[in-house]
Amino acid sequence: MKHITILAPSCATTLGTVACIAGAYEILTRANTYCKQSQGRQLFNIEIAGTTPRTALANGLFTVKTHSFVTDLSKTNLIIIPSLPSSFDRSAPENVALLQWIEKQYKNGAEIASMCSAAFMLASTGLLDGRNCSTHWNFANKFRTQFPNVNLQTDELITDEHGIYTNGGAYSFLNLVLYIVEKYFDRHTAIYCSKIFQIEIDRHRQSGFIIFEGQKQHSDEMVREAQAYIESQLSEKISVETLSAKFAIGRRNFDRRFIKATGNTPIEYAQRVKVESAKKAFETTRKSINEVMYEVGYSDLKAFREVFRRFTGVSPLVYRSKYNKDSAQLQ
């Protein structure tokens, strides 16, 4: 029988950690039971493992009784790392031992799944270097600063590469668990779990939930001034040539510095700022799509729709209908 290990780390944890452990264990156990009833076989031994018999979580608010010690597990097929604070300390002695165990298991053939900000722990092993990864969009700037060699994909809900799975923020870990159920059991079982636990299946992006606040956690003052200028010119169409000339710098050098500081090209940054402003207008006002489009500097409805969909995953009309309580009256 194959083995799935859900970690109960003894490091700093949150209520999100509790939710991830409980949710993953319940759904995977139900998938096992379903397969036993429908196919006459139980596919996995699912265990919660830690470094102590009882692990206190969320500042002691909850305690989980572990099934086993990670040090006693010489072989597992899948390691699930629950959400952890983004302040994860890779240098703490208990964390060093756990990171070494994760690396060893991966080299021995185990797959790894990180939930939400557990990506900080997984990235600390070095296993994500040069690979794609997702985490909560709210931690994106911090993650990029700490792990510049990882290809962070903030729009993606789930990444799947070389036996490593990562997912976006908060309770989207439930979508990752369904994804794992389909890969480790089968599609039919995943659909069953989706219906039992009422989780939307086949959700692939978290872009619709992102609140773009600008990438300001850098020290390039020229780029900061350029960002402020872009944000102050919402209704204008700004070219890179105009920006680079304004700051008396060559276009290529301007692009390079802007991308290094923010992770976006100047044009992408301007588009994100405009889309975020449009989202807020759709959420809080009764303005028409055309009115909002003009306010954020677009005159071509097709172009506006394309840019909006690229960053949110849906059309302006769908977004407004979803997030504006008066949307039914605006049709």
Q: Which amino acid is at 210?
A: I
Provide the pLDDT confidence category of residue 274 given band limits of 50, 70 and 90.
Answer: very high
- Average pLDDT for 205-221: 85
How far apart CA 58 and CA 177 sit, in angstroms, is 22
For residue 317, the SS3 value is helix
Q: Are 136 and 117 in contact (CB under 8 A)?
A: yes
- pLDDT at residue 331 tops 70: no
- pLDDT at residue 316 tops 60: yes
- Average pLDDT for 43-68: 94
- pLDDT at residue 141 tops 90: no
How far apart CA 202 and CA 178 sit, in angstroms, is 9
Q: Are 276 and 253 in contact (CB under 8 A)?
A: no
For residue 63, the SS3 value is strand
Q: Which range, 93-97, 199-203, 305-309, is most confident?
A: 305-309
How far apart CA 106 and CA 126 sit, in angstroms, is 12
Q: What pLDDT was estimated at residue 251?
A: 92
The residues spanned by each domain of the chain are: 2-209, 221-330
- pLDDT at residue 324 tops 80: yes
What value does the CA radius of gyration of the chain take, rounded to a whole number of Å?
Answer: 23
- Percent pLDDT > 90 in the chain is 80
Crossing angle between the packed helical segments 221-232 and 251-262, to the nearest 10 degrees: 90
Q: Are 113 and 176 in contact (CB under 8 A)?
A: yes
- Average pLDDT for 43-70: 94
pTM (predicted TM-score): 0.82
Q: Which CATH superfamily is domain 221-330 in?
A: Homeodomain-like (1.10.10.60)
Q: What pLDDT was estimated at residue 77?
A: 97
- pLDDT at residue 173 tops 80: yes
Q: Are 205 and 155 in contact (CB under 8 A)?
A: yes
Tell me how far apart the terminal alpha carbons of the chain are, to the nearest angstrom: 55
Among the ranges given (40-44, 45-49, 256-260), the one the predictor scored with the smallest mean pLDDT:
40-44
For domain 2-209, the CATH architecture is 3-Layer(aba) Sandwich (3.40)
C-alpha distance from residue 206 to each of 83, 84, 146, 170 (Å): 16, 19, 22, 11
How far apart CA 140 and CA 137 sit, in angstroms, is 5
Residue 331 burial (CB < 10 Å; 0-12/13-18/19+)? exposed
* DSSP 8-state secondary structure symbol assigned to residue 82: P
Q: Which DSSP string do the residues of 83-99 spell out, in sequence order? A: P--TT--TTSHHHHHHH
For residue 215, the SS3 value is coil
